[in-house]
């Protein structure tokens, strides 16, 4: 062997290979693109946690899932779903083995950053009508002005009637917008820091400008809006108090690039992991272990609340499974494995300074494992055990999944968290894994199709392991 060949052989044998998907998986490209057609349709149709919950349950029902009954007993291959208040959902396929041997969980979240309406949002100023908003999750506020927004959510009336709202998505629908200053008059505003470019109380949604026709009274533009809302939805101003209205970007999901290799859209974080997790579960017939897809709400604001994973809804579901099979829930939890499937930051060549290039995730390099998240000295992280990471990488390699490993960014540059720590706190093995995203939390985020597909393959391999 020549010296050059020896070096090459040794490098091949001993080094990490972090390559483009196409270097090793060219034959799977058509499958990856086809998978993403399904994902794009899901992303377009389901822009809020409620809409995701609904879309997932509809798809599950069509695939033979029935509502979970804690007093029933199930046999291997049975498929059930648990709807947690219309905002989070668990899909479950019962396995051959006792749950005492542990269950396989893939957990993702279906809420995304957005602008929520305040409890009494409607006001008039200078013959214009607005909604006051309160942003939800970690947004860069300046990105949310001067873009088309749609309204999604519910009014719940005192008699319990739920009135659904989805306005601004269909062709011909009106849309909504937060205005920004013109550059000609932005001399002072331009001196603000980027984080203050648009302030929280400036995120006011334009909703109308024509007054109710009358010579009497004041605030007639507001009155005219209330009249329109009453005609359309049968609500009055008090019904806003028990409403959840969310303004989200009205952009269509589109292919990005001449080669159509990327997908641009709102809310990839974290539907881009939720969808592959669900699709992977739907491929199961009668799995060895009982398998769960847990799609949670509230991750973007810290997972607190009864639809978030810092509540007990998943634990209680597993307790019910354990009771059914006559085993202790804590033994099930202790033996269970989880993938916390959530997005990570993709290396952005335009902003290389925030990434450690030797420990980052690259677009098209596959699903990315994050051994730990958190900030500073791993604060707020669930740092997965080496033993468990070893187990997961073997599963991925054995199934020929294209994967990589990375951190969110440079040490002390910032950081982030996922649901992983809440699941780890239940005594479950858990590691983070997911799709690298460009412009994360922006109104229009970008992912690579091959990474979405690799995430699906990873979830599938995990469930079948």
Residues lying near Mn ion in the complex (CB under 5 A) are found at 269-270, 342
Pick 61 or 134: Cβ nearer Mn ion? 134
CB of 107: closest distance to Mn ion in angstroms? Answer: 11
51, two tokens: 């809409």
Q: Are strands 104-109 and 291-296 parallel, antiparallel or unpaired?
A: parallel
CB of 301: closest distance to Mn ion in angstroms? Answer: 10
Pick 290 or 311: Cβ nearer Mn ion? 311
**Nearest residue to Mn ion, scored by beta-carbon proximity:** 270
Angle CA 164–165–171, to nearest 5: 130
CB of 434: closest distance to Mn ion in angstroms? Answer: 8
CB of 436: closest distance to Mn ion in angstroms? Answer: 12
The helix (H) or strand (E) run that includes residue 12 is: helix 3-14
The helix (H) or strand (E) run that includes residue 33 is: helix 29-45
The helix (H) or strand (E) run that includes residue 274 is: helix 268-282
CB of 415: closest distance to Mn ion in angstroms? Answer: 12
Q: What single DSSP character describes residue 77?
A: T
Helix (H, G, I), strand (E, B) or coil at 390: helix
Q: Are strands 88-93 and 291-296 parallel, antiparallel or unpaired?
A: antiparallel
CB of 194: closest distance to Mn ion in angstroms? Answer: 19
Pick 221 or 273: Cβ nearer Mn ion? 273
Torsion of CA 299, 300, 305, 309, to 10 degrees: 10
Cα separation, 115 vs 132, in Å, equals 9
CB of 394: closest distance to Mn ion in angstroms? Answer: 26
Token look-up 């270097």 returns 23
Pick 78 or 342: Cβ nearer Mn ion? 342
Pick 49 or 342: Cβ nearer Mn ion? 342
The helix (H) or strand (E) run that includes residue 450 is: helix 449-464
Pick 271 or 449: Cβ nearer Mn ion? 271
Pick 270 or 337: Cβ nearer Mn ion? 270
CB of 278: closest distance to Mn ion in angstroms? Answer: 16
Helix (H, G, I), strand (E, B) or coil at 431: strand
Pick 102 or 406: Cβ nearer Mn ion? 406
Pick 78 or 270: Cβ nearer Mn ion? 270
Concatenate the DSSP letters of all residues of 42-97 into one string. Answer: HHHH--SHHHHHHHHHHHHHHTT-EE--TTS---TT-EEEEEETTTEEEEEE--SS
Pick 130 or 266: Cβ nearer Mn ion? 266
CB of 193: closest distance to Mn ion in angstroms? Answer: 22
C-alpha dist (Å) from residue 273 to 23, 237, 245, 263, 301: 23, 38, 24, 14, 18
Cα separation, 12 vs 20, in Å, equals 16
Cα separation, 342 vs 364, in Å, equals 16
Please name every residue paired with 130 in a beta bridge, in sequence order, or none if there are none.
123, 206
Q: What single DSSP character describes residue 423?
A: H
Contact 114, 136 (CB under 8 A): yes
CB of 240: closest distance to Mn ion in angstroms? Answer: 27
């Amino acid at each position: 062997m020549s010296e050059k060949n020896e070096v090459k052989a040794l490098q091949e044998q001993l080094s990490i290979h972090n390559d483009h998907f196409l270097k090793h998986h060219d034959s799977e490209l058509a499958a990856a693109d086809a998978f993403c057609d399904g994902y794009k349709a899901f992303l377009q149709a389901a822009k809020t946690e409620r809409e995701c919950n609904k879309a997932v349950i509809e798809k599950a029902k069509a695939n033979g899932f029935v509502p979970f009954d804690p007093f029933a007993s199930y046999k291997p291959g049975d498929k059930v779903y648990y709807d947690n208040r219309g905002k989070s959902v668990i899909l479950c396929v019962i396995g051959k083995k006792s749950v005492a041997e542990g269950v396989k969980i893939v957990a993702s979240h279906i809420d995304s950053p957005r602008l929520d309406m305040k409890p009494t949002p409607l006001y008039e100023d200078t013959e214009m009508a607005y909604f006051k908003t309160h942003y939800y999750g970690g947004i860069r506020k300046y990105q949310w002005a001067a873009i088309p927004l749609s309204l999604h959510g519910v009014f719940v009336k005192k008699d319990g009637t739920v009135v659904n709202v989805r306005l601004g998505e269909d062709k011909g629908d009106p849309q909504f917008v937060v205005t920004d200053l013109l550059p000609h008059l932005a001399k002072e505003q331009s001196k603000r820091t980027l984080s203050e470019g648009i302030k929280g109380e400036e995120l006011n949604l334009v909703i109308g400008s024509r007054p109710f026709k009358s010579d009497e009274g004041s605030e007639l533009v507001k009155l005219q809006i209330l009249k329109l809302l009453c005609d359309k939805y049968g609500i009055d101003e008090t019904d806003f108090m028990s409403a959840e209205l969310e303004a989200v970007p009205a952009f269509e999901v589109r292919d990005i690039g001449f080669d159509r290799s990327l997908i641009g859209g709102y809310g990839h974080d974290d539907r881009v992991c939720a969808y592959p997790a669900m699709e992977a579960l739907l491929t199961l017939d009668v799995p060895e272990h009982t398998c769960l897809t847990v799609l949670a709400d509230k991750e973007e604001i810290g997972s607190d609340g009864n639809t978030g994973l810092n509540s007990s809804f998943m634990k209680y579901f597993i307790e019910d499974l354990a009771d059914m099979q006559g085993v202790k829930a804590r033994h099930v939890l202790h033996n269970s494995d989880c993938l916390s499937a959530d997005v990570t930051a993709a290396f952005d060549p335009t902003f290389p300074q925030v990434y450690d290039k030797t420990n980052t995730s690259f677009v098209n390099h596959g699903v990315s494992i994050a051994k730990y998240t958190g900030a500073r000295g791993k604060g707020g992280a669930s740092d997965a055990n080496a033993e468990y990471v070893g187990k997961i990488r073997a599963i991925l390699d054995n199934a020929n999944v294209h994967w990589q490993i990375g951190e969110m960014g440079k040490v002390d540059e910032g950081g982030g968290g996922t649901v992983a720590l809440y699941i780890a706190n239940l005594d479950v093995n858990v590691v983070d894994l997911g799709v690298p995203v460009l412009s994360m939390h922006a109104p229009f985020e970008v992912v690579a199709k091959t990474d979405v597909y690799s995430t699906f393959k990873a979830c599938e391999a995990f469930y079948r392991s």
